[in-house]
């Protein structure tokens, strides 16, 4: 029931109540397998709400139990979730260690959905470290897996990331303009409000790089509008951060 409240209804308070009840029962029964999964799910909710310190505490509890039980799939999932938080906090060494662990185990177990979840963050980490060839390799792998799984959301997300990487690696403005035009075309290929917001968000920096304040301001307004609409429906901390950043951005 907690999963329904979390994933389907985005009712995080009710989800936490359900997970706590499930945790109490599992602890009474001594079912450590369920306990590790519940700790992980509670960590996901706390992370979504922006409480990363407590999220890491729950993830750590889940990881300890999963490692004691040699539950590789759970280890991979939890390590990846922890790595994402450290990446977002710009703690790149910790992020790299955990994401490499998550990706490595997922490859070993051939758990494609988890690979599609964590390879983009590993690619973003490589981009932050200016490892462009590594970034392209990771993006290709993630995009191929997304297409294999027929996950349209992940396919578009990886295409957005690929454009971001291509723009960063471009050596001249003509190439950068080609990247911008291609990314703008993606707006017509998805109906996802979140992906529209993400595309507009990336286009802000691209147009600013080419000294185009009017176009950058247009995309800032569009991104802000979409993130505000998303946050009104689902109060994710990630949306709130983007809203605050865009409100402060001066073009």
Any domain includes 216: yes
Q: What percent of the chain shows pLDDT beyond 90?
A: 79
Q: What is the pLDDT of residue 5?
A: 42
pLDDT tens sequence across 180-195: 999 999 999 999 999 9
Q: What's the pLDDT score for residue 92?
A: 96
Angle at 102 between CA 104 and CA 107, to 5 degrees: 35
Residue 60 lies in a domain: no
187 located within any domain? yes
Domain encompassing residue 213: 174-251
Any domain includes 246 = yes
Structural domains in the chain (count): 1
User: CA torsion, points 190, 196, 199, 205, in degrees to nearest 10?
Assistant: 160
Give yes or no for a contact between 101 and 75, defined as CB atoms under 8 angstroms apart: yes
Residue 250 inside a domain? The answer is: yes
For residue 8, give the DSSP letter.
I
> Which two tokens mark 124?
């973003």
Q: Which residue has the higher pLDDT, 1 or 214?
A: 214
Which structure tokens are listed for 239?
């949306």
In a domain, 215, yes or no: yes
For residue 3, what pLDDT is reported?
A: 56
User: Which tens digits make up the pLDDT trace of 143-190?
Assistant: 999 999 999 989 999 999 999 989 998 999 999 999 999 999 999 999
Asked if the model's pLDDT at residue 34 lies above 80, the reply is yes
pLDDT of 20 reads: 84
Residue 39 has pLDDT above 50, yes or no: yes
In a domain, 76, yes or no: no
Q: What one-character-per-residue DSSP string does 20-55 give?
A: HHHHHHHHHHT-HHHHHHHHHHHHHHHHHTT-HHHH
Q: In the structure, what pLDDT confidence band is assigned to residue 9 with cuts at 50, 70 and 90? A: very low
Q: Let me know if residue 195 belongs to a domain.
A: yes
Q: What is the pLDDT of residues 69-115, one digit of tens each?
A: 999 999 999 999 999 999 999 999 999 999 999 999 999 999 999 99
Range 134-154 burial, b when 16+ CB lie within 10 A, else e: ebbebbebbbebbeeeebeeb
| Mean local confidence (pLDDT), 5-15 | 61
């Amino acid at each position: 029931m907690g999963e329904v409240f979390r994933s389907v209804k985005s009712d995080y308070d009710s989800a936490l109540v359900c997970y706590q009840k499930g945790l109490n029962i599992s602890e009474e029964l001594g079912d450590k397998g369920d306990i590790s999964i519940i700790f992980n799910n509670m960590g996901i909710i706390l992370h979504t709400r922006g409480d990363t310190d407590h999220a890491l505490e729950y993830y750590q509890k889940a990881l300890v139990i999963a490692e004691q039980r040699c539950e590789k799939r759970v280890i991979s999932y939890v390590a990846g979730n922890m790595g994402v938080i450290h990446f977002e906090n710009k703690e790149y060494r910790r992020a790299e260690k955990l994401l490499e662990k998550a990706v490595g185990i997922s490859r070993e177990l051939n758990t494609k959905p988890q690979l599609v979840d964590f390879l983009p963050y590993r690619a973003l980490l490589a981009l932050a470290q200016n490892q462009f060839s590594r970034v392209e390799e990771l993006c290709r792998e993630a995009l191929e897996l997304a297409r294999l799984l027929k996950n349209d959301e992940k396919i578009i997300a990886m295409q957005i990331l690929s454009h971001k990487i291509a723009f960063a690696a471009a050596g001249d403005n003509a190439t950068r303009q080609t990247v911008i035009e291609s990314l703008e075309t993606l707006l017509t290929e998805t109906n996802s409000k979140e992906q529209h917001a993400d595309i507009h968000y990336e286009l802000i920096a691209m147009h600013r790089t080419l000294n185009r304040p009017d176009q950058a301001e247009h995309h800032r307004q569009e991104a802000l509008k979409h993130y505000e609409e998303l946050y009104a429906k689902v109060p994710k901390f990630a949306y709130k951060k983007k809203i605050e950043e865009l409100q402060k951005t001066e073009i």
